[in-house]
Structure 1
């Protein structure tokens, strides 16, 4: 086991596109939640201990929505149970630019956090307001500057493109601002309209002016080219970094490796099982009280499913799927399992094969989901 994800389901504001498990933080039992989170961690480690965790990611929700005392309590739990302080590890907190006074930045750094991931999305204040974000461009610039002044040297900025009303010119402006920030990593995602979100309801009523598939593809190519020109290597479909600053946590997912998932609504992949936790807070507390674990479901992943996942997760990486690694993990060559799919996608120009790897082409990145679906067996 190399990785752990910790879910903090509290937000000061709810974004119009977000479908993650979250609640407004006002009048919520935050301290009680942290107590139960620790119970879940302790109980899990008793049945599935780790030798060394390389990466811990605290996401949400908005982890930085916690007050100073709650943040200190969470850091204490992490350091007590999950962080062996003698190893070189990656500890990331997702951060909202409006929630981070310098005192909290210092608390995070002193508590072992060595990577911050800022949910920026855009540098256009009108767009930010239209998607439900509470921060402004100025807030982002201030937060990043203060994080660097405190001593953070590993910063990620999340961007979203294909937003309602967004133009290519607007995205270009956002990218130009982004490259002035001296950060080490960018994640750039196309907007996905999920059920049970404000945007989904607007789309159903025909009131969501999306840019369209052609503009979305043009925006993605703009992102790829701009990142390359500015020294950020694309190591995964939506992720770009300076050398040595790839997200070790996300690589755990794309390498199809095991990871813990702690907290309400979190997902785990442990000892061949994919586990989903219950989401509502009251149910989370009650399930831990009754069973010791907050599981909603647990699925034994078959060998066939593991091989499918190896392909559609591994192909997200710029390096693609390594044929020797596949054979070592599953005792069979990738061509014996997926010969037809590989041949067809190479013919269509969406995959390319070298002596050692199979990976997406540039055209394949634009049609990634279609390529991935071909590796789902009957």
Structure 2
């Protein structure tokens, strides 16, 4: 069986004010125990498969995987190769923060071939507004260090819509990002997630965010600037140089099976979605006792699978086959085409420039009769 593998590493240096992922701060003293639990769970999961397992992609996400001592990343990679196989051209990604550049060389030597740098912004003002601990110089130095280490596939993450951000500042960030010549750039609008620091500030009206119109213009500027620099806008939030699209994320969007291991990790195998517990101590104790730490699961029936195929597929530049959509949702398809939110490009249906700005609403409308 061929599938993707996601490993969740929950350790972070600090709590970012906008983040709602499963993470723990200043607890890397638990890294050895946590890694042993991940290896144990991985072995248990693989042993449950009926056939030999080959992983085409391996993604260490978090949290901040680079914050954990790199020997534990190596331990997990060794376990993967002991209990399963990695395809010869497997994409192996580690998410990293600029402050962890001292680990880059070791990560490269362990077999990691793709680095995803959480730069988030490239002006000191925006970084401070986002609650980040690094500055612009740190970010640029980290990128140079990754390149000098030998990484030829580097992605960077950027966030637009930071408090008090202007169009001019965002344009400056885009220009600086392009000069790096990263193979991949992911760009996300700042979202205010429940129970985060930003959420609490927003409720007290202490978070001066750009207007929706300004944020829309920032997104359109992003598309124009990056495509002009020869990046392909292959998914709503993702831009890549030729042949450098994220293979791991594309597997998600194409509905391919994947195994998730670690705190709060999700899996999708044999039409079943499974997710782990999101409390660190509970996770480690459960795996130590039983080999697993499942919180719950659901079976993805034919109708739900259809919904997900449409909602994920329409977010990609290649879109979806027109015959497929006309078969399943002809009325809504025509409605959205008439309103210039979707377009027919060589018998593939994809979002228009107007549709990209309200992609979630377009997706919801497209599948509402299913």
Fold in common (TM above 0.5): yes
2:88 aligned counterpart, secondary structure: coil
Residue deviations 1:145-191 (CA, integer Å, cap 9, x gap): 11111111000010000111111011011111111112111000111
TM-score by length of 1: 0.93
1:285 aligns with: 284
2:14 aligns with: 13
Structure 1 residues 23 and 309, CA gap change in structure 2 (3 angstroms): same
Q: How does 1:268-347 map to 2 (within 5 A)?
A: 268-322=267-321, 333-347=324-338
1:14 aligned counterpart, secondary structure: coil
What count of residue pairs does the alignment treat as equivalent? 367
Q: What is the CA RMSD across the aligned residues, in angstroms?
A: 1.7
The CA distance in 2 between the partners of 1:55 and 1:75, in whole Å, is: 12
Range with greater deviation from structure 2 (163-172 or 40-49): 40-49
Residue deviations 1:73-124 (CA, integer Å, cap 9, x gap): 334334434553x6111000000011111xx222111111110000011111
Q: 2:342 aligns with which of 325, 345, 351?
A: 351
Q: Judge conservation of contact 1:13–1:132 (CA < 8 Å) in 2.
A: no
Q: Which runs of 5+ in 2 are unaligned?
A: none
The CA distance in 2 between the partners of 1:191 and 1:52, in whole Å, is: 36
The CA distance in 1 between the partners of 2:81 and 2:171, in whole Å, is: 41
Q: 1:59 aligns with which of 54, 61, 72?
A: 61
2:75 aligned counterpart, secondary structure: helix
1:234 aligned counterpart, secondary structure: strand
TM-score by length of 2: 0.95
Residue deviations 1:195-253 (CA, integer Å, cap 9, x gap): 12110111111111110110010000000000011111100001111100000011111
The CA distance in 1 between the partners of 2:83 and 2:59, in whole Å, is: 14
Q: How does 1:1-378 map to 2 (within 5 A)?
A: 1-26=2-27, 28-48=29-49, 51-84=53-86, 87-101=88-102, 104-322=103-321, 333-354=324-345, 356-374=347-365, 375-377=367-369
Range with greater deviation from structure 2 (38-47 or 125-134): 125-134
1:327 aligns with: none
The CA distance in 2 between the partners of 1:191 and 1:343, in whole Å, is: 32
Q: Which runs of 5+ in 1 are unaligned?
A: 325-332
